[in-house]
Structure 1
Amino acid sequence: MTETATIKVERPSKTLRELALEKVRDAIISGHFRPGDRLVERDLCAQLGVSRTVVREVLRHLESEGLVNNPLGKGPMVALLDVSEARQIYEIRGALEGMAARLAAEAAHPAMIANLAEALAGIRACYAQNDMPGVLTETTRFYEALFTGIERRIAWDVVKQMTVRINHLRSMTIKTTARSVEGPAQMEKIVEAIKAGDGQAAEQAAMEHVRRASAIAEAVLAQQARATDNP
């Protein structure tokens, strides 16, 4: 038989575990599963159409990302976001993104600026279509273009390690009143300062954008905490 290659079974691009992980992670970030909700293995097996072994692996992975807690005797649940932890995440973001914006302005590479502008246009388009997952994707693309455009891949790796938690917070802030206008406008200031080669203005714009997002997130988390304390 000379054509055995034509009947070869190709390995799927993603495993069942990876697909299930993406589904549950997206359900948490989108708010389908809310902070404090219990994640019952039996129910997840039925909803996802996978085995309990896969569900347990998914929950363990999400616990390592900080999206799931497993209190003794209570079983896994969606992690309650902590104001202190959120503040620390935004502090790190502010430092790294401010540095990146300043260096980007000093470099002012045309290709990087074009990539930033394209991602920003994508953010606005997704807001216009009320496509919040799309907003998260395009925002991640914006910052990837920023960090990789100045060849700060280690800094980008640090940001990527926090991306799940950042997007969990971002999924709340982007839905607040006027954020669909305010957020892109602040990011446009970053791009314009980079275009102008003004490192100080770019750094200040980036840090102001993060400060505003931090303030919104803290307000949302405080409101959630009050609702939890007074059901």
Structure 2
Amino acid sequence: MSDALPSLRVERRTTTLRELALEKMRTAILDAHFHPGERLVERALCEELGVSRTVVREVLRHLETEGLVDSIPNQGPIVAILDLDTAAEIYEIRALLEGEAAMACARHAEESTFEELAACIDRIQHAFDTQDHQAVRAFTTAFYERMFTGGKKAVAWDIVQSLTARINRLRALTIASDDRGRQAVQEMRRMLAAIRARKPMEAREAAIAHVERVAEIARHLLCEGQEKASWRRAG
């Protein structure tokens, strides 16, 4: 064949408008700029974000796949409502996967991993101290990514990543609760101490205890939110 085939090279671009809008909307939901159950009106979002309706629709579809948006028949897209059963299932999955990852990290991680995990915890501490909740979420995700990869649990981390948006939604709920910063950092330092000491079972137990503690906080806050919603409807 004499004619050369067209190039298959993909042009690398800077961040697209869609990606920027997606990040803005995701952060707005996590930071409660939009509240659970609130309608997401395309025209209003176009004006707020300064993008086309096509971009808004693509963003909403993507957020629906992440579990942050629900599409309601005859109503349209709304911010997904956090419910007790879904939250409990997410925490159950977290406990299973994070417990195994902590145990594997204690067994397999290189010494440099311990320092990287410690640095993440220090950044989380600072973010709590400055009330930068967005940074808390980002550095917490980085901590777990390092723990999973350090334990050679790449496939398990892929599963966690598929739930990242929902996990961060719950994280946004719990990290604002009273004294959670001090508790969370202490719990993560206990995890790291067991990992650094090469004590797999202690690391697993510390990781599961950390998830169980935050699951209980989330359950309390969600129940409290449901009660308040019931009072508003009754009034």
TM over 0.5: yes
Q: Supply the AA of the counterpart residue of 1:167.
A: N
Using the TM superposition, give the Cα deviation of residue 62 of structure 1 relative to its aligned residue in structure 2, in angstroms. Answer: 0.8
Q: Deviations over 1:2-41 (max 9, x none)?
A: xxxxxxxx96421111110110011001111110111111
Q: Partners of 1:179 and 1:186 in 2: how far apart?
A: 10
Unaligned runs of 5+ in 2: 1-10
The aligned residue for residue 95 of structure 1 is 96
SS at match of 2:217: helix
Deviation, 1:108, is 4.5
Q: Residue 229 of structure 1: CA displacement? A: 2.1
Q: Which amino acid aligns with 2:134?
A: P
Give the corresponding residue for 2:185. Answer: 184
Q: Is the 8 A contact 1:67 1:165 kept in 2?
A: yes
Aligned to 1:222: 223
Cα offsets for 1:50-100 (capped at 9, x unmatched): 011111111111111111111111121101011101111101100111111
Amino acid aligned to 2:160 = V
Per the alignment, residue 63 of structure 2 pairs with 62
User: Alpha-carbon deviation of 1:107?
Assistant: 2.5
Deviation above 6 Å: which 4+ runs of structure 1? Answer: none
Q: Is the 8 A contact 2:121 2:185 kept in 1?
A: yes
Q: Is the 8 A contact 1:108 1:197 kept in 2?
A: no
- For residues 28-107 of structure 1, the aligned pairs below 5 Å read 28-107=29-108
Give the match for residue 173 of structure 1: 174
Q: Aligned to 1:76, what secondary structure does the other structure show?
A: strand
- What secondary structure, in the 3-state scheme, does the structure 2 residue paired with 1:69 have? strand
Equivalent position of 2:21 in the other structure: 20
TM-score normalized by structure 2? 0.92
TM-score (norm 1): 0.93
Query: Could you say what the CA RMSD is over the residues aligned between the two structures, in angstroms?
Result: 1.2
Q: Distance in 1 between matches of 2:229 and 2:43?
A: 25
Partner of 2:158: 157
2:87 is matched by which residue type in structure 1? A
How many residues end up aligned between the 2 structures?
A: 222
Q: Output the CA distance in 2 between the equivalents of 1:191 and 1:107.
A: 14
How far the C-alpha of 1:174 sits from its partner, in A, is 0.5
